[in-house]
Structure 1
Amino acid sequence: MRSRQTSVIILTFLAGLILWRVLDFSDAIDGGMTSTSATTIADDESEWEIEKSLGEISNATLGFERVFAIGFEDRMDKRDAMTIGASLSGMKLEWIEGVRWKDINEKAYPAGWDKRRNNPAELGAWRAHLNVLQKIVADGISTALIFEDDIDWDVTIRAQLIEFSRGARALQNTNSSSPHSPYGDDWEVLWLGACAMRTRDASYVYQIPDDPTVPPFKHRGEMIYPPFVKPSEMHKTRFVLERVEALCTLAYAVTYESARSILASLSLQPTNMAFDVSMNHLCMNKDLRCLGSYPVLFNTWRKEGTNAHDSDIHDDWEDVWHEKWSKGITYSTMLNVWNLIGGGKTVQAQYPEVSPQWIEFEKLEIPRGKLETYELTLGELTA
């Protein structure tokens, strides 16, 4: 009898507990959940969505819809190198044929082009870049990354781009957890590879301190240093900048809308400037919202050989032999080909003063950056 009474008490207690949980859950659905717990869950979900969006950068096109490389088909050596580098980085390239100025009908020259003053090869480069933009517009490509055919990048490029994208989104004030691009909602040009860069009229800069992939100060040539920062602060710091102006279109990204604007500006209106100078003016005049990285994330490299073989625009360089080199890339993909090609995970820095000299690149972490406020005083933009 005592056992039956005990069982009834236990069953009554369990029924009451179940009823209390049901009512409590119902209250939560009706808004009874406390604001603190609701906010925490919302914040967790938002952070998860942001991380999911940033994860798109790990795909074969680095978070863009397409990646194009411009180069001449008969420069098979350059295509070999870029194809190997892209393969080792798990990157998918689509080649766009370069254009030689002699093959351009003079009627198709931009109005105002001065053949006597300008290097004729610059006209071919101008047309080749416009051909890529034309394809982006014609095919309705949402975003595209465009390379020239002689560039290099760090073996940690995806980790670098993820942190760059955090900076780009912060500068654009992109609060959406699902932006149109992992790089934000409001950019028009991402200038990721240049030989000169500066920024103006920008009060905010995204600063990434202690970045182990930043090249030593003396090995950078694309800008003396941002004038809002002391040289002593530059050694391991990367900056994501807005309203940038740059020279050399080594690597840059565009959206469908900005590709259409650039194509219209450079094709339908008179111009007497090389492609990169024209792009610089569009950024300088704020016709486009241009963001960039200092130091840059993509830069020039050269295989072992003579200067005469390096450029397809300049033919007047001396025939002087040089070793292979890469400009401003710490853990260079091109200089580590033989460390990577057998599936290796350990690579060497190209600069002896860098520490660590050898890294397991998949384990290297890029620190989180933050927005900083600066008062800018600009110097000259020089290549």
Structure 2
Amino acid sequence: MARGPRLLPFGVLLLFMLSLLWYTKSGDGLSYIQGHGYSYNINPAVGFKSPKDSVKDVHNSTLGFQKAFVLNLAERPDKLDAFALASTLTGFTAELIQGVRGEEVVNKALPSLEGLPEKLDSRNNVVGCWRAHLNFAQTVVMEGLTSAIILEDDADWDTSLKDQLAIFAQGSQYVTAVSPNLKPHSPYGDDWDLLWLGHCSNQIKPDDERRFIIENDDTVPLTKHRVNFAGVPDMAAEGYDNNTRIVYEANNGVCLYGYALSFRGARKLLRGQAQRKTFVPIDIGIGYMCRDDPNFKCIGVFPQLIDSHKGAGRLSRDSDIGSFSAQSVRQKGYTFNIVHSTRLNIDHLLAGEMDKIERQWPGDPEVKGPLRAKPVGRIFD
């Protein structure tokens, strides 16, 4: 009995000491999870070796971010079903950010009424989307997350997403000028506000010289298969072939199929959207911030790593903001810009048949030889 009172404080002290191994804070107001130990052997085929520590945590259950989220309207549990299946089969899980109906957002909660669509349906669509993405940024700030990624509930990605992100992370470190002598807290580097991984348009900042070039990549769709809805990098003009992907500082963009915010980026996004004099859809507003705000650093990738899936069946099920005839039916599903679509390979993934993963465009020539990656432009300032 005499030992009891002494053991309890020791146990509490031990738990406290263990917790300190995981949680610390930095001088810039960010709370970092420690103890990851980014020691990782970078693929020797990749030309740029990440600073000392690595991109290992990209392979964890939140893709190297502190949390992952999925955006879903409560009335579309079918989309959440499909997302849960696809994400867990590729090794990550996401928490829910509830979608917002635009009619639930009163005008006084908007930064400006100027620029709103005249038609009520269109107004509700863009306002609901705007508010839902701001709720994501608000969650990052309120929970003090170092970083978080969010995907739309109909997003799709390559079955090798984690391997793609491991290479992208090296590119992000290079583009944000992580010195080989420094240890970044995030596998993606620490000097970024937004990682634009899934888009339908993205452009390179014109005065930025840094590029991270990923060559001989079997997950890059050929030019004839790429579908985008606004400006994208002119790969041919820059001398890149069909199997090349690039990482760069982004100047503008459209569509938010999947993107990540750092803590500082989430705070800037809340500030930037709250002070607009003219209302614009959230993706366009973010694109303007990437283009016009020198203190808002966006890292882009092209071709994109995440896109929007269009499933087989009634077209009326596709969009929560568009409308299609209930009689219109799609015989076969597809996803723009994704070679080994996770959504289209669900049955193979469920069966563990990794050797049977199918390409969306099986007639394309096979990519031979190892993947190569190299930095281009100034190395470190």
Which residues of 2 match residues 39-58 of structure 1 at below 5 A? 50=51, 52-58=53-59
Alpha-carbon distance in 2 for matches of 1:333, 1:366: 23
Describe the superposition over 1:202-244 as per-residue Cα deviations: whole angstroms up to 9, x where unpaired.
2221111100110111111136762364487331001111133
Going from structure 1 to structure 2, the CA distance change for 1:62 and 1:109 (only over 3 Å counts) comes to same
**Number of the residue aligned with 1:300:** 308
Post-superposition offset of 1:365: 9.4
Equivalent in 352, 367, 371 of residue 367 of structure 1: 371
2:358 corresponds to 1:348: yes
Q: Which amino acid aligns with 2:264?
A: E
Amino acid at match of 1:66: K
2:346 alignment partner, SS class: helix
User: How far apart, CA to CA, are the structure 2 residues paired with 1:365 and 1:172?
Assistant: 29
Could you tell me whether the CA contact under 8 Å between 1:147 and 1:251 is conserved in 2?
yes
Deviations 1:24-69, CA, capped at 9 Å, x for gaps? xxxxxxxxxxxxxxxxxxxx99989857531011100110000111
The residue number in structure 2 matching 1:276 is 283
* Corresponding position of 2:175: 171
Identity of aligned residues (%): 31
Shifted more, 47-56 versus 267-276: the winner is 47-56
What secondary structure does 1:233 align onto? coil
**Structure 1 Cα separation of the partners of residues 183 and 327 of structure 2:** 52
- Cα RMSD after superposing both structures: 2.6
Q: Which residue of 2 aligns with 1:289?
A: 297
SS in 1 for 2:126: helix
Work out whether 1:133 is the aligned partner of 2:140. no
**Unpaired stretches in structure 1, ≥5 consecutive residues:** 1-43, 358-363, 375-383
Contact 1:159 1:365 in 2 (8 A): no
Aligned twin of 1:218: 224
Structure ID, larger Rg? 1
Are 1:201 and 2:207 matched, yes or no? Answer: yes
The number of residues matched between the two structures is 325
Contact 2:51 2:178 in 1 (8 A): no
Distance in 2 separating the partners of 1:149 and 1:181: 25
Partner residue in 1 for 2:339: 330
1:264 to 271, 276, 280: 271
Q: Is the 8 A contact 2:203 2:252 kept in 1?
A: yes
Runs of 5+ unmatched residues, structure 2: 1-38, 43-48
- Structure 2 length-normalised TM: 0.79
C-alpha change, 1:110 and 1:227, in structure 2 (3 Å) is same
* Amino acid across the alignment from 1:111: S
Query: In structure 2, what is the equivalent of residue 97 of structure 1?
Result: 98
Does 2:247 align with 1:237? no
Give the match's secondary structure for 1:57. helix
Cα contact 1:246–1:280 (8 A) shared by 2: yes
Q: Secondary structure at the match of 2:299?
A: strand
Alignment partner, residue 18 of structure 1: none
SS in 1 for 2:70: strand
Residues 261 and 291 of structure 1: is their aligned pair in 2 closer, same or farther, counting only changes over 3 Å? same
TM-score by length of 1: 0.78
Which residue number corresponds to residue 315 of structure 1? Answer: 323
> How has the CA–CA distance of structure 1 residues 225 and 366 changed in structure 2, closer, same or farther, with 3 Å as cutoff?
farther
Hey, what's the Cα distance between the residues in 1 that align with 2:278 and 2:69?
25
Given that residues 62 and 68 in structure 2 are in contact (C-alpha distance below 8 angstroms), is that contact kept between their aligned partners in structure 1?
A: yes
Distance 1:249 1:97 in 2: 16
Give the conservation status (yes or no) of the 8 Å contact 2:215–2:243: yes
SS at match of 2:54: helix
Cα deviation for residue 139 of structure 1 reads 0.7
**In 2, distance between residues paired with 1:160 and 1:265?**
30
Distance of 2:123 and 2:263 partners within structure 1? 30
Letter in 2 for 1:353: G
Cα distance in 2, alignment partners of residues 292 and 99 from structure 1: 27
Distance, in Å, in 2 between the alignment partners of 1:319 and 1:274 is 30
Partner of 1:147: 151
The 10-residue stretch of structure 1 (244-253 or 306-315) with the greater mean CA deviation from structure 2: 306-315
Specify which structure has the higher proportion of helix. Answer: 1
